[in-house]
């Protein structure tokens, strides 16, 4: 990577003011690598981070998770079930093909048949009908009132033509309308995109951007300090202040929208990692009891985790919805640490002597994930639940969490989950985390405890069809109160998104954790 000299810095600053391109490269050290160059393969932060550079959505999310025009210049409901999207004219794909409504329809048709490891983006159109009205008008319907349909269009990326996923991964079919073009992908080493000089929007200042996966936090820090990368994401919390004090570096951060929680097996009579004190499978599964779930929540010292494990770079959570976002219930407060109360609850259901349990967590996905789980295991043990911890890489962890048990049932009894929102609102989080698992409808796919409450399902269905924002938000807030009263999940905290970079650079931090090279600019 070339050093950014004073002359180059001046040139870049001038280029920003004039809108001219520069010949400088940008290298970003990222904690997570994409799993595919097919943009709609899996709705996760690392996948969408790469996709957003080469492809566009009909609707895009800005840094505050608000819908803004993308390939659709505007949208409006034409009746109580159908939305009309007016497409942007004059846009071309990287191969020069003019963008039209035909590409939207073809992408939707193709994406519906692609299965990702988790939730493929095609799930967002499987239950919808859509049609071309003319070359620059598309109608999309969910068959019912559906106020969040425009938000969901921010998840699917439009491409030039259908092709096997392997052709996208090789770059052959990775042809979008985005600000950068596919350059090369060497797995576990780099993903390179090159500037698209014909981009329809504001041109990026970088000729080439290299995303370099560096999973280890200390290694990312070293890469930044050594000049091997220009910026890094997910700064280890223990290093934030040290980097702030370095005159050659800049740190930017924002409280993010990702909730980190523990999920409990509330569904099965025998849970695979819950045992009696003498090591026998525990029947009936104690995690099905509200008192046990509440005791677990009381035994966790959230403030201690935020202050000591996260070094203050997190916010204690009491629900799924992030503070300030649509659907956040201000009446819900983080569970206070109450060890005596936890023991009392266990005793009230005949578990005064506790039981044994193994919890499972990733060790390379969320900030300090393994350390957080080590702390939780110790806390639960002090409460009388003798807890062991098993951690594993995310490549193994999530598949096991979802279907690693007998007959493809969830593989764990208590496990960590971090969940943001790809659509800029909280309905998708609720659909995925607390709705009854329904694979055919792509509901509850992240509900690894298979929690089920028919009343919550019914209210969520009502909310998704409620056009009045005030009424819909009240319904979501009511759902929050219900699943927390039932202790369906154990909220821990919201992550703070932190980036560090060379002093000459700055970045507009996003509620979502993605790093967009377009918004990496020269500091004034």
**pLDDT tens digit sequence for 224-259:** 999 999 999 999 999 999 999 999 999 999 888 899
Neighbouring-strand partners of residue 184: 192
Question: For 435-476, how does the pLDDT look when each residue is reduced to its tens digit (9 = 90+)?
Answer: 999 877 778 889 999 999 999 999 999 998 898 889 999 999
Question: Could you read off the pLDDT of 314-330 as tens digits, one per residue?
Answer: 999 999 998 878 889 99
Does the global pTM surpass 0.85?
A: no
Domain(s) labelled CATH 3.10.105.10 in the chain stretch across: 257-495
Confidence check: pLDDT of 6 > 70: no
DSSP summary character for residue 282: P
What DSSP string describes 443-486? BSTT-TT----HHHHHHHHHHHT---HHHHHHHHHHHHHHHHHT
Strand-pairing partners, residue 491, are: 261
**Tokens linked to 398:** 């999530």
- What CA–CA distance (Å, rounded) separates 401 from 395? 11
Helical spans, DSSP H, in 300-416: 302-304, 339-348, 369-382, 394-403
For the CA atoms of the chain, what is the radius of gyration? 24
Of 448, 451, 487, nearest to 297 (Cα)? 487
Please give the class, per CATH, of domain 257-495: alpha beta
Mean pLDDT in the chain? 91
Q: Are 148 and 425 in contact (CB under 8 A)?
A: yes
Give the helix/strand (H/E) hosting 53: helix 45-54
**Measured distance CA(270)–CA(405) in Å, rounded:** 12
Region of residue 236 (left: phi > 0; alpha: psi -120 to 50; beta: else): beta
Distance CA 377, CA 360 (A): 10
Q: What is the pLDDT of residue 483?
A: 97
The phi, psi pair for 377, rounded to 5°, reads -60, -40
- CA–CA separation, 512 vs 97, rounded Å? 31
Q: How many CA atoms lie within 13 A of 179 on its CB side?
A: 19
Q: Which CATH number fits domain 6-30+32-213: 3.40.50.11600, 1.10.8.590, 3.40.190.10, 3.40.50.2300?
A: 3.40.190.10
* pLDDT bracket for residue 296 (50, 70, 90): very high
Percent of the chain past pLDDT 90, that is, above it, reads 78
pLDDT at 192: 98
- Mean pLDDT throughout 419-448? 85
Model confidence pLDDT, tens digit, residues 42-71: 888 899 999 999 999 999 988 878 889 999
Q: How much is the pLDDT for 116?
A: 64
Rounded distance between C-alpha atoms, residue 316 and residue 490, angstroms? 11
Phi, psi of 277 (to 5 degrees): -65, -25
CB 265 within 8 A of CB 415: no
Which residues, other chains included, contact 25 with Cβ-Cβ below 8 Å and sequence gap of 6+? 1, 2, 206, 207, 208, 209, 210
Question: In the chain, which segments carry CATH 3.40.190.10?
Answer: 6-30+32-213
CB-based contact 511:426 (threshold 8 Å)? no
Q: What is the DSSP letter of 399?
A: H
CA distance 257 to 265: 25
pLDDT of 11: 40
SS3 253: strand
């Amino acid at each position: 990577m070339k050093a950014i000299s004073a002359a180059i810095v001046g040139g870049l600053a001038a280029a920003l003011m004039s809108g001219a391109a520069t010949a400088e490269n940008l290298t970003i050290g990222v904690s997570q690598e994409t799993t595919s160059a097919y943009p709609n393969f899996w709705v996760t932060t690392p996948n969408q981070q790469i996709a957003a550079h080469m492809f566009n959505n009909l609707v895009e999310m800005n840094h505050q998770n608000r819908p803004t025009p993308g390939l659709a210049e505007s949208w409006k409901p034409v009746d109580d079930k159908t939305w009309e999207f007016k497409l942007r004219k004059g846009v071309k794909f990287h191969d020069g093909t003019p963008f039209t409504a035909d590409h939207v329809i073809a992408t939707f048709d193709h994406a519906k048949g692609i299965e990702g490891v988790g939730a493929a983006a095609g799930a967002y159109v499987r239950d919808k009908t859509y049609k071309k009205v003319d070359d620059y008008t598309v109608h999309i319907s969910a068959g019912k009132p559906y106020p969040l349909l425009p938000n969901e269009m921010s998840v699917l990326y439009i491409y030039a033509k259908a092709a096997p996923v392997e052709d996208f991964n090789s770059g052959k079919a990775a042809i979008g309308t985005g600000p950068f073009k596919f350059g090369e992908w060497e797995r576990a080493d780099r993903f390179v995109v090159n500037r698209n000089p014909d981009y329809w929007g504001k041109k990026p200042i970088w000729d080439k951007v290299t995303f370099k996966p560096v999973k280890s936090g200390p290694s990312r820090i070293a890469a930044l300090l050594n000049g091997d990368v220009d910026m890094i994401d997910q700064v280890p919390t223990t290093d934030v202040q040290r980097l702030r004090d370095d005159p050659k570096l800049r740190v930017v951060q924002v409280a993010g929208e990702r909730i980190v929680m523990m999920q409990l097996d509330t569904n099965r009579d025998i849970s695979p990692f819950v045992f009696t004190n003498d090591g026998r499978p525990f029947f009936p599964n104690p995690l099905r009891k509200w008192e046990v779930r509440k005791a677990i929540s009381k035994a966790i010292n959230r403030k201690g985790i935020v202050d000591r494990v996260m070094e203050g770079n997190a916010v204690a959570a009491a629900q799924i919805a992030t503070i300030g976002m649509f659907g956040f219930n201000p009446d819900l407060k983080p569970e206070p640490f109450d060890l005596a109360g936890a023991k009392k609850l266990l005793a009230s259901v005949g578990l005064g002597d506790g039981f044994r349990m193994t919890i499972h967590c990733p060790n390379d996905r969320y900030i300090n994930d393994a350390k957080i789980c080590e702390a939780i295991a110790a806390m639960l043990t002090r409460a009388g639940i003798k807890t062991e911890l098993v951690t594993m890489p995310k490549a193994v962890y999530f598949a096991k969490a979802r279907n690693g048990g007998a007959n493809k049932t969830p593989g764990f009894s208590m496990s960590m989950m971090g969940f943001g929102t790809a659509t800029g609102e909280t309905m998708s989080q609720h659909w995925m985390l607390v709705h009854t698992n329904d694979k055919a409808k792509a509901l509850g796919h992240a509900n690894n405890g298979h929690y089920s409450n028919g009343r919550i399902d019914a209210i969520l269905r009502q909310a998704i069809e409620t056009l009045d924002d005030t009424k819909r938000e009240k319904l979501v807030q009511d759902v929050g109160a219900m699943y927390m009263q039932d202790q369906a999940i154990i909220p821990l905290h919201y992550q703070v998104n932190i980036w560090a970079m060379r002093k000459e650079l700055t970045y507009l931090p996003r509620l979502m954790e993605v790093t967009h090279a377009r918004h990496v600019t020269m500091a004034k």
